[in-house]
Amino acid sequence: TYDFLRTTSNGGKVANANGYDIRFTADAAGSSNLSWEVERYVPTTGELVAWVKTDISSAADKVIYLHYGNSGISSFQGNINGTWKSSYVAVQHLVNGTTLSANDATSNQNNGTIQGPTATSGAFDGGANFSGANQYINLGNKSSLGTAGDFTLQAWINPSDYSTYQGILAKTSGNIPKPYDFYLMQGSGIPQLYRGNGSVHSNVAGSSGPTAGVWSQLVVTVSGNTVSHYLNGNLNGTGTLYEPGASGTDNVLIGSRADFATKFKGKMDEVRISNAALSANWIKTEYNNQSAPSSFYTIGTESGSAGGNQSPIVNAGANQTITLPTNTVTLNGSANDPDGTISEYSWTYVSGPTNPAAVISTPGAANTSVNNLVQGVYVFRFTAKDNIGATAFSDVTITVNGAGGGSGGPYYRMITINRSQVSNAVQSQFPVLISGTYPYLRTTANGGLVGNNSGYDIRFTTDVQANNKLNWEVEKYNPATGELIAWVKVDVSPSADQIIYMHYGTPTITSFQGNVNGTWNNNYAAVHHLVNGTSLSATDATVNANNGTINGAVAGTGAIDGCASFAGSGQYINIGNGSSLGITGSITLEAWINPTDYSNYNGIIGKTSGGLPKPYDFYLDQGT
């Protein structure tokens, strides 16, 4: 709490009631903004709780600058998401207002839903108070939370007692980690980290538990198979995990887990999840900073009449919405400087569709056009620099709605195939599974946007105009719910995201527009989806037409849509002896399976003469 950070009306020097003129920079002139987040500012007292991103070293002191007193600043100048490096997938300050807040400070937007906990005083600013009766905060199940590789879980905690197991952070399937379950043991409070894949799991315990009734920093890291526990910045036990982790669709809970057997009782603050194993030095430095901020830094004497050169006042203009085929907008920026002149303007792309890239005609002009826009939401940043070198920026959002064009329908969506999910090399003519339930893919009669009751107007292309159709197969479409299971043939790469487009909403299309056989490249001799209808189907999706005859197997619920269920008593599907099946050279056999047990040999695919392969016999061994 600093008297000089009170607002001017309260006897201080801050000009803006929200503290927006409080800025952190790398230089005394105030021209190089750092990234920072303000967790709390009280204008009447000058209390400030803020997080500032900067590089620090054990070899030399780090100097940054705190600016304030600029009456021309009326908007926040920091960068909340930019304060947290990319390995942080969730940062929950659990700030204290009239009600508890669980907004994620990172760009991942893993915001929490409060289920019972209430606002209380925290280790810093506010915290969450858990009664120990099935209270928790649900962070959801976004993919960014599925840290099945290296990860770090951390929190400041003040447990009331250890009469029960105390849950900290968990992503579990029931009582099984998928991939993690982090809690304190009943009686001792010793931290336990479990890792698993929903079926098997292993655990490593810490050496000692935090003291009940006081605030402690608790951290656990997983690097490969090595677990390291930390208590108040110090190593608190290590060990080795022997089972892998795998993430599922289960929610991440703060203060409990899916079966509610671990119920935290007490206060919790500053909960963080990282998809990397933070180093021991990083964790120790965090503790030093957070446990005693006033010892971690010193604030020097005040300079300047208003804390340094005043930054420009910048406005990127009003947000805009356009509808294709219009694909150009004019950006209207403006700026002025309270104590000097503007020396430079610049427009930059912040976020939005990247393929194709939008083109800013004159980035150095206050007013300029942007061309080559496609459907999606863009953010552009307007930055102005004054004659002393101080900068400020403002963002504008451009929303581009689809309206068809070419042979496309009234609506389309861009589908981005994530390069990080493609293993090692370009996979040409790859059948990508598109699977999900989407309300907009319901038919118009069911409140959606699809025009044909069979979903024939759902099409996949390489372009916005829908002039370049891909090959696709629809395995299942439900007009009432918008459920779609489709396979789309496309080249995918580990070095660049692949963009395709899904079009829908044209009621005049009354026949299937895809190409079932063309979806599967010539290497596939047979593809059996075994889809589930009123009875089991074993139709081959390839051009080879190796359709199956059902002998006893029945329809079931599969890994993808429907499947075949076998009782283990002479049931099978006969797909014949077509020449395309007689593969004597290189071969791949594959299936998704869910075996009941291994009391007998379990056949997968066989082409045999009696008990001998001719040329192959693929089965699971009895017992194992």
CATH of the domain at 107: 2.60.120.200
User: Which comes out higher in pLDDT, residue 464 or 446?
Assistant: 446
505 neighbors 411 (Cβ within 8 angstroms): yes
Tell me the per-residue pLDDT of 271-330, one tens digit each, with 9 for 90 and over.
999 999 999 999 999 999 999 998 999 998 887 654 456 788 999 999 998 887 788 999
Instruction: List beta partners, residue 344.
Output: 385
Domain edge (last residue) among 82, 113, 143: 82
pLDDT recorded at residue 561: 87
Tell me what the mean pLDDT of segment 33-51 comes to. Answer: 95
Say yes or no to pLDDT of 19 above 80: yes
| Residue of higher predicted confidence among 621 and 447 | 621
Domain limits for position 424? 411-519
Region 488-512 average pLDDT: 92
Residue 455 has pLDDT above 70, yes or no: yes
Q: Are residues 21 and 64 in the same domain?
A: yes
304-318, 359-373, 550-564: segment of lowest average pLDDT: 304-318
Judge if 227 and 199 occupy the same domain.
yes
Cβ contact 177:168 at 8 Å: no
In a domain, 541, yes or no: no
pLDDT digits (tens, 9 = 90+) for 213-222: 999 999 999 9
Question: Which of the listed residues 478, 497, 519 is the one where a domain comes to its end?
Answer: 519
Per the domain annotation, does 382 fall within a domain?
yes
Question: What is the three-class DSSP state of 89?
Answer: strand
Does 325 share its domain with 448? no
Does 482 fall in a domain?
yes
540 located within any domain: no
Average pLDDT over residues 358-366: 94
Pair 99, 171 in one domain: yes
pLDDT at 147: 79
Tell me what pLDDT residue 506 has. Answer: 86
pLDDT of residue 465: 77
State residue 402's pLDDT score: 64
Verify that 389 and 441 share a domain, yes or no: no
- Which pLDDT band holds residue 406 (cuts at 50, 70, 90)? very low
Q: How confident is the model at residue 356 (pLDDT cuts 50, 70, 90)?
A: low
When pLDDT is averaged across residues 123-133 and rounded to a whole number, the result is 91
Same domain for 158 and 286:
yes
Question: What pLDDT does residue 30 have?
Answer: 86
Q: Is the pLDDT of residue 533 over 80?
A: no
pLDDT at 374 exceeding the cut of 90: no
- Note whether 35 and 114 are same-domain residues: no
Number of domains forming the structure of the chain: 5
Q: Among residues 380, 401, 422, which one ends one of the domains? A: 401
217-221, 271-275, 420-424, 471-475: least confident range:
420-424
Q: Give residue 309's pLDDT.
A: 65
When pLDDT is averaged across residues 138-159 and rounded to a whole number, the result is 92
Q: Is 559 helix (H, G, I), strand (E, B) or coil?
A: coil
CA 548, CA 556: separation in Å to the nearest integer? 16
Residues 318 and 365 in one domain: yes
> Does the pLDDT value for residue 562 go beyond 90?
no
Backbone angles phi, psi at 251, to 5 degrees: -80, 150
For residue 377, what pLDDT is reported? 81
Q: Are residues 396 and 418 in the same domain?
A: no
pLDDT at 532: 67
In this structure, the answer to whether residues 118 and 230 fall within a common structural domain is yes
Tokens of 620: 């699971």
CA nearest to 64, candidates 298, 312, 310: 298
186: in domain: yes
Same domain flag for 231 and 158: yes
pLDDT at 86 over 70: yes
Residues 487 and 562 in one domain: no
Q: What is the pLDDT of residue 405?
A: 42
Q: Name the pLDDT band for 404 (thresholds 50, 70, 90).
A: very low
Q: What pLDDT sits at residue 307?
A: 45
Residue 397 in contact with residue 359, Cβ under 8 Å?
A: no
**Segment 235-262 mean pLDDT:** 92
Q: Give a yes or no: residue 535 inside a domain.
A: no
Mean pLDDT along residues 411-417: 88
Q: According to the model, what pLDDT value does residue 240 have? A: 95
Tell me which residue of 297, 219, 313 sits closest to 50, measured CA to CA: 297
At 221 the pLDDT is 98
pLDDT at 272: 98
pLDDT, averaged across the chain: 91
pLDDT at 266 over 80: yes
- Domain of residue 366, CATH code: 2.60.40.10
Has residue 539 been placed in a domain?
Answer: no
Give percent of the chain with pLDDT exceeding 90.
74
| Mean pLDDT across 43-49 | 95
Other CB atoms within 10 Å distance of the CB of residue 114:
18
Q: Does residue 525 belong to any structural domain of this protein?
A: no
Cα angle 321, 322, 325; round to 5 = 165
Question: Exposure string (b/e) for 473-487, b if CB count within 10 Å is 16 or more?
Answer: bbbbbebeebbbbbb
Q: What pLDDT does residue 492 have?
A: 94
For the chain, what percent of residues have pLDDT higher than 70? 96
Residue 381 banded pLDDT, cuts 50, 70, 90: very high
CB neighbour burial string for 337-358, b if at least 16 within 10 angstroms, e if fewer = bebbebeebbbebeebbeeeeb
Q: Give strand pairing partners of 235.
A: 230
